[in-house]
């Protein structure tokens, strides 16, 4: 609900386009089961590994970099191929074009592949109701947009299986990529593929795995050896011997553990940090563009210097008003007393009591009228001030 409100507020504003894209991805991923990304270098056997897990040959595997775009496998009642483009648009394709869309092939789909963010492949496979699988191009592939596509999708993964190639185990580029993945808050589960090539006469497989496990213990969580090709052949041929020699039972255990350790809510909160930081920076920039920081010194100067002076002037004015009020009270009392006198003698006596010296003798003709006029004017002033 909150994410939908964010999208509503930001829609239609060009400056929020990238943030909106991230939030849309987070909202979509929240509605799906945990996303497990199968990652590794070129020719580690990632597509064959996924085919073995599915129990059927769905994805293309080749001697060249076969996977050209990120392929996301989700559950669906019927098989569907949906292209998700970088501009946010989607398009459904006939399943016969799956290889052309996902594998590096010549033809008219070459341009389309470069515009794709990823391909979503919906399959009626029960396993996919509990986990979403992502097949990625090799991170050391010689084609730049292959590597870019994988790195763009890395932050969306909840879990990861890093597939090592037994023949080229522990390259310097692998170490660099694993460090980068760990910085994203993901510790991959390590799996060594093609153990069928291992020579037991030279070294026992368990000893080999123990040694490599110690080398990579800070970058991966565990290390298991399998043969994805033998596992796939064993399932397709119903050959229990091949399936056993492939050590595929260990892979099934890994997936069961990954499903049980569902950390999706935590990953979603971590992923929200990026759009929040971007949004915060946008508002900082807007404030700067509006001259906020140019006015800031003037605001501080007012509070430090001008405001104290204004408050001091206010105190002085209030003190003077109090003095004036006291003086008006004296005058009001004097006028009240004078207005009640009926003879010059009474006036003289009353004026002396208020400190007033009267020497005029024409009281009845002039003074009494003046007193009444002053009294009336004073009462008018007081009435007006009260209103």
Give residue-wise pLDDT tens across range 297-326. 776 777 787 778 878 888 888 888 888 777
Q: Which residue has the higher pLDDT, 59 or 11?
A: 59
CA–CA gap between residue 367 and residue 365 (Å, rounded): 7
Average pLDDT, stretch 187-208?
91
Higher-confidence residue of 371 and 308: namely 308
Residue with tokens 């991170």: 139
- pLDDT of 325 reads 76
Highest mean pLDDT among 41-45, 86-90, 235-239: 235-239
Stated pTM of the model: 0.65
Residue 369: what pLDDT? 47
Cα separation, 60 vs 100, in Å, equals 10
Residue 13 in this model has a pLDDT that exceeds 60: yes
pLDDT at 361 over 80: no
Question: What length is written for the chain?
Answer: 387
CB count in 10 Å sphere of residue 282: 14
Query: What value does the mean pLDDT take over residues 326-351?
Result: 64
Residue 386 has pLDDT above 90, yes or no: no
Tell me, what's the pLDDT at 238? 95
CB 42 within 8 Å of CB 138: yes
Which whole number is the average pLDDT over 279-295? 69
What average pLDDT does this structure show over 131-159?
72
Helix H segments across 186-247?
A: 205-215, 228-237, 240-245
pLDDT score recorded for residue 64:
46
Q: What is the mean pLDDT of residues 107-136?
A: 86
What is the overall mean pLDDT for the chain? 78
Looking at residue 80, its pLDDT comes to 94
251 has a pLDDT exceeding 50? yes
pLDDT, mean of residues 129-151: 71
Q: What pLDDT is recorded for position 129?
A: 93
pLDDT band at 104 (very low <50, low <70, confident <90, very high): low
State yes or no: pLDDT of 357 exceeds 60.
Answer: no
Element containing residue 377 per DSSP (H, E): helix 368-386
- 232 or 105, which is more confident: 232
Question: Nearest CA to 169 among 218, 223, 206?
Answer: 223
Other Cβ atoms less than 10 A from the Cβ of 335: the count is: 19
Whether the pLDDT of residue 112 is over 90: the answer is: no
Residue pointed to by tokens 């459904």: 92
Residue 368: pLDDT above 80? no
Categorize the per-residue pLDDT at 362 as very low, low, confident or very high, splitting at 50, 70 and 90.
very low
Confidence of residue 350 (pLDDT cuts 50, 70, 90): low
Reply yes or no on whether the pLDDT at 335 is more than 80: no
Q: What is the mean pLDDT of residues 147-154?
A: 70
- Lowest mean pLDDT of 74-78, 173-177, 322-326, name the range: 322-326
Query: Which has more confidence, 367 or 81?
Result: 81
- Answer yes or no: is pLDDT of 233 > 90: yes
Helices 228-237 & 46-54, crossing angle to 10 degrees? 30
- pLDDT on residue 66: 55
Token pair, residue 174, equals 């692998």
Residue 49's pLDDT is 95
Looking at per-residue confidence, does 297 or 166 come out higher?
166
């Amino acid at each position: 609900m909150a994410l939908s409100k964010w999208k509503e507020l930001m829609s239609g504003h060009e400056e929020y386009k990238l943030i909106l894209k991230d939030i849309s991805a987070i909202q979509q991923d929240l509605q799906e089961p945990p996303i497990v990304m199968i990652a590794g270098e070129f020719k580690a056997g990632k597509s064959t590994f996924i085919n073995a897990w599915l129990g059927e040959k769905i994805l293309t595997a080749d001697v060249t970099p076969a996977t050209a775009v990120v392929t996301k496998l989700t559950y669906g009642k019927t098989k569907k191929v949906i292209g998700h483009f970088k501009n946010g648009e989607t398009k459904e394709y006939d399943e016969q074009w799956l290889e052309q869309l996902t594998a590096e092939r010549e033809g008219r789909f070459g341009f389309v592949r470069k515009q794709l963010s990823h391909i979503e492949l919906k399959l009626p496979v029960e396993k996919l109701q509990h986990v979403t699988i992502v097949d990625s191009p090799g991170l050391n592939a010689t084609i730049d947009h292959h590597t870019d596509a994988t790195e763009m999708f890395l932050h969306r993964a909840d879990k990861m299986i890093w597939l090592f190639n037994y023949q080229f185990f522990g390259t310097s580029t692998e170490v660099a990529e694993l460090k980068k993945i760990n910085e994203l808050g993901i510790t991959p589960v390590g799996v060594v593929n093609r153990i069928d090539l291992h020579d037991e006469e030279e070294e026992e497989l368990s000893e080999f795995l123990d040694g490599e496990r110690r080398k990579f213990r800070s970058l991966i969580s565990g290390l298991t050896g399998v043969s994805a090709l033998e596992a796939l052949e064993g399932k397709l041929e119903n050959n229990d011997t091949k399936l056993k020699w492939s050590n595929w039972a260990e892979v099934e255990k890994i997936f069961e553990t990954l499903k049980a350790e569902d950390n999706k809510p935590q990953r979603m909160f971590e992923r929200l940090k990026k759009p929040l930081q971007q949004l915060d920076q946008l508002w900082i920039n807007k404030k700067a563009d509006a001259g906020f920081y140019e006015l800031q010194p003037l605001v501080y100067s007012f509070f430090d210097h001008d405001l104290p002076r204004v408050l001091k002037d206010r105190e002085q004015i209030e003190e003077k008003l109090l003095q004036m009020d006291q003086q008006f009270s004296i005058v009001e009392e004097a006028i009240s007393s004078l207005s009640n006198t009926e003879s010059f003698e009474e006036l003289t006596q009353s004026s002396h009591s208020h400190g007033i010296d009267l020497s005029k003798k024409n009281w009845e003709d002039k003074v009494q009228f003046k007193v009444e006029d002053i009294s009336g004017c004073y009462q008018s002033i007081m009435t007006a001030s009260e209103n």
